[in-house]
Amino acid sequence: MEEKSSFSLGNSRLMPQEEMLEVGKKKASMSIGIPRESNRHESRVPVTPEAVELLVNNGHQVLIEENAGKEASYLNTDYSECGGTISKREEVFRADVILKVAPLTTEESELLNGNQVVISALHLPGQKESYIRKLIAKRMTAIAYEDIKDKYNSYPVVRSMSEIAGIASVQIAAEHLSNVHDGKGVLLGGITGITPAEVIVLGAGTAGEYATRAALGLGAMVKVFDHSVHRLRKLQNYIGERISTSVFHPRVLQKALRSADVLIGAVHQVDKDSRYFITEEMVMGMKKGSVIVDISIDQGGCVETSECRTHKDPVYTRHGVIHYCVPNIPSRVARTASIALSNVFTPILLEIGEAGGIKQILKEDPGLRRGVYLFNGILTSQHIGKMFGMQSKDLDLLLAAF
């Protein structure tokens, strides 16, 4: 094949021509830090050993703090054999990208070098201004993974954790109906000649859907309540079989609660002034020994008698009704939850590397960009700005400058 020249013959003269140069992305190699979670109620780890192997094979260095995966039944050797580097805590927090499950603590913020990327939960309702200002001072780029959207316009982390919480909530209820946990000794699904237990699910979202699936799978009778007829119809289609559904109406709900054995709360208050969906009076009308699992307790709860508890002390009884009100239910099944998180985070980390760094991927990926609340130490979240009286700037305009 004849080699192309940078010159051509035109009008009997050699004319200079534009030379086409290949323009491509420059792949970046990153160091990724996986610290051990400081929160004693957090058992999950954001990446599995298999994910570490994939990241290392793509040219990245993964620094894992000793025993970071212990609560999820992953040993140090599981990670090291897959190419991960077991490191001291200080070294982990010097990585280019810090990946955590829970938000950074004050002590962890002090360990940061600055000008890094941190991907973790934000948990804004319980967050303090000092947390944001500390990250600003360190010129961090911070991404709240609960706000990340995928190409299907859904929130992948929230959805996967909601699926786990929905299924686990029914398992928890079944445990506390049994005698093992001093329950009244009822089998959720019943048997031939014995009526199955009645389960009420509040909310037809992801958690409500999977709670419904789990309860039906165990043979229970299920009633689902939600504000939206559209969401109830969608749930009916997803489930594929007829279930009892209703929009929220206090009298209808109160009547259903009188015969219910289990109540799964998978909704939260619409605003700060709204009343609880389930009042204390409604709880008083429930059968003795029935069980309430309030999944939405981390958002304030949807039952008036709910109190936020821990995994170490999760259960209490009020008006003869057993209450299980623990935030972060997925930590009960840390291994499954960790794999689910890893399935979301690993492609994101690989894409950051392929794009050549965080700035380029944020320009290309609007879903990941949605989770950013700090960019190079500049607040980009209007909501956080209003919450703490801080000035924020538009992320799209900031990215245009780079």
**Same structural domain, 129 and 81:** yes
Measured CA to CA, the distance from residue 16 to residue 18 in angstroms comes to 7
**Same structural domain, 248 and 138:** no
**Same structural domain, 107 and 240:** no
When pLDDT is averaged across residues 251-264 and rounded to a whole number, the result is 96
pLDDT at 333 over 50: yes
Amino acid at 359: K
**Same structural domain, 256 and 361:** no
Could you tell me the pLDDT band of residue 5, with boundaries at 50, 70 and 90? Answer: very low
Measured CA to CA, the distance from residue 71 to residue 44 in angstroms comes to 7
In a domain, 7, yes or no: no
In a domain, 198, yes or no: yes
Q: Where are the beta strands (DSSP E) in 116-204?
A: 117-120, 141-144, 198-202
**Same structural domain, 323 and 358:** no
What's the mean pLDDT when you consider all of the chain? 91
Closest CA to 93 of 139, 34, 29: 34
pLDDT at 16 over 60: no
Domain final residue, candidates 292, 327, 362: 327
With 0-12 / 13-18 / 19 or more C-beta atoms within 10 angstroms meaning exposed / middle / buried, residue 103 is buried
Q: Where are the beta strands (DSSP E) in 220-349?
A: 221-226, 244-247, 262-265, 291-294, 315-318, 321-324
In a domain, 11, yes or no: no
**Same structural domain, 347 and 320:** no
Bridge partners, residue 341, by sequence: none
Q: What is the pLDDT of residues 184-231, one digit of tens each?
A: 999 999 899 999 999 999 999 999 999 999 999 999 999 999 999 999
pLDDT of residue 41: 87
User: Which amino acids are annotated catalytic?
Assistant: 123, 298
In a domain, 41, yes or no: yes
In a domain, 23, yes or no: no
**Same structural domain, 345 and 257:** no
pLDDT at 344 over 50: yes
In a domain, 1, yes or no: no
pLDDT above 70 covers what percent of the chain?
92
**Same structural domain, 175 and 308:** yes
pLDDT of residue 398: 92
Could you tell me the pLDDT band of residue 235, with boundaries at 50, 70 and 90? Answer: very high
Bridge partners, residue 199, by sequence: 222, 262
In a domain, 350, yes or no: yes
Closest CA to 377 of 132, 182, 171, 205: 132
Helix (H, G, I), strand (E, B) or coil at 133: helix
With 0-12 / 13-18 / 19 or more C-beta atoms within 10 angstroms meaning exposed / middle / buried, residue 347 is middle
**Same structural domain, 167 and 39:** no
pLDDT at 272 over 50: no
In a domain, 19, yes or no: no
**Same structural domain, 208 and 288:** yes
Domain final residue, candidates 284, 305, 327: 327
> What does DSSP assign to residue 101?
S
When pLDDT is averaged across residues 147-175 and rounded to a whole number, the result is 96
Instruction: Tell me the CATH number at 261.
Output: 3.40.50.720
Domain final residue, candidates 277, 297, 327: 327
pLDDT of residue 274: 54
Could you tell me the pLDDT band of residue 400, with boundaries at 50, 70 and 90? Answer: confident
Could you tell me the pLDDT band of residue 276, with boundaries at 50, 70 and 90? Answer: confident
- Could you tell me the residue range of the domain that residue 92 belongs to? 31-147+333-400
Q: What is the pLDDT of residues 26-78, one digit of tens each?
A: 788 999 999 999 988 899 999 999 999 999 999 999 999 999 999 999 999 99
**Same structural domain, 116 and 163:** no
Structural domains of the chain, count: 2
pLDDT of residue 269: 56
